[in-house]
Amino acid sequence: MPLRTVRPFLAILAVAGLAACTATPDNPAPSSGSPTVSPSASQGASPAPSPDTETTVPAPSPTALPAPTAGPGAGNAELAIMVKPSATEPAVNYTLVCRDGVPAAESKHPNADAACAALKNNAALLSPAPKDANRVCTEQYGGPQTATVTGIVDDIPVEAAFARTNGCEIGAWKAAEDVLGATGGAT
């Protein structure tokens, strides 16, 4: 079969196969062997996308867990705390487990009583507000210390990072210094 004859034949088969694959009870496949052309397609307009066509509309995000509210909480926490005094010093790691604002026996924290009390008094202590590009912070340097806190406070996952590189971060550090521990309380 000459190549001129094969190409149109393959195109018709492809269109008929696509029509058969996308047929629904509301939109049956054409019964004839030739493709159906809509009036808008014959006038040069682009055809409507098929149901399988990808779009640029983002999928809805999964429901985020609510952040803890500021103010008193239940005082239950299971946290891993890592404080790095400087880039050259080794990290110091603590475990904090609180039940009703009281440290549990498995806590390995320098001042677990103060840390658990701080979390019971303010359940949102480790959930700082998202960084806002328009937020103005003083350009002061508070030190090389960094810290991360991961775990759960009152059944809500927590993943917080702290530093002392500007006034806003120093403020968040000072608010959480009881939880950050002895090394975390650096001034």
pLDDT, tens digit only, all 187 positions of the chain: 554 554 555 556 555 554 555 555 555 555 544 444 444 444 555 555 555 555 565 544 444 444 445 567 888 999 999 999 999 999 999 999 999 999 999 999 999 999 999 999 988 888 766 677 777 888 888 899 999 999 999 999 999 999 998 888 898 899 899 999 865 544 4
What pLDDT score was predicted for residue 98? Answer: 95
> Does residue 71 form part of some domain?
no
Cα dihedral sign for 146, 151, 155, 157?
positive
Q: Write phi, then psi, for 138 (nearest 5 degrees).
A: -65, 145
What pLDDT score was predicted for residue 42? Answer: 45
Whichever domain contains 102, its CATH number is 3.30.350.10
* Shared domain check, 38 and 83: no
What pLDDT score was predicted for residue 102? Answer: 94
* Shared domain check, 148 and 89: yes
Q: Which domain holds residue 19?
A: 3-42
Residues with Cβ within 8 Å of residue 78, at least 6 apart in sequence: 96, 97, 151, 152
> Does residue 72 form part of some domain?
no
Q: Quick one: which H or E segment has residue 183? A: helix 177-184
* Shared domain check, 82 and 22: no
Q: Please state, in angstroms and rounded to a whole number, the distance separating the CA atoms of residues 4 and 60.
A: 48
Maximum alpha-carbon separation in the chain: 88
* Shared domain check, 38 and 82: no
Q: Write phi, then psi, for 36 (nearest 5 degrees).
A: -90, 135
* Shared domain check, 177 and 101: yes
